[in-house]
Homo-oligomer: A and B are copies of this chain.
């Protein structure tokens, strides 16, 4: 067993939809290294507190960002001797999808940037965000994952906007509705949204975010 183990951390790419566009949350680092530089929220794994990397991310989301009960999953692990000046390091990167309304009111040190226009970031975090976007694109078309950006209930139009934001490009209206209905991805709540002219039926997911087998066609 080697005497010295790599530094082990977790990082979270926290995404949300603002004005139908994907945004990623960054914080300004308060400590060295990269003090004052924007970075993904993250932290060390605490062997005494965490039961898994997943658990460590939940702790970071909660304690550093005030975010609870959102959908997140492991993205991939980044590693190497040079990515952190403190030494050979590992970051188990995760991707989290947060409904806009579920973000804490106090957001002084949590800044959202559109993914289409990102600032310079600490460590290799630009690479991590790029990997998150690739994953989201790849998985978006094959899962109900984009629904994680919406609240408990949503209209079909809102759902379509979420898919479009994730996949980029626009989708066919009736094909989208047909597909969503026949795959039984959603069920009616019986309620209606009255924020638009004609009220829109509100739906909820029939199950947690999951994958399916046929693409919901892009533009």
Contact = CB atoms under 8 A, between A and B. Distances in A.
A76 B79 contact: no
B1 A45 contact: no
B77 A53 contact: yes
B74 A52 contact: no
* Copy count, this protein chain: 2
A102 interface: no
B47 A6 contact: yes
A86 B46 CA distance: 16
Interface stretch (A15-23, A59-67, A87-95, A198-206): A87-95
Contacts of A47: 2, 4-6, 81, 87-88
From DSSP, what is the main secondary structure of chain A's interface residues? loop
Contacts of A74: 76-77
A180 interface: no
Nearest to A88: B47
A59 to B, nearest CB: 13
A138 to B, nearest CB: 7
A69 to B, nearest CB: 21
Contacts of A87: 47
Interface in A53-110: 53-54, 74, 76-77, 79-81, 86-88, 90, 92
Interface of A: 1-2, 4-8, 44-47, 51-54, 74, 76-77, 79-81, 86-88, 90, 92, 138, 211, 213-215
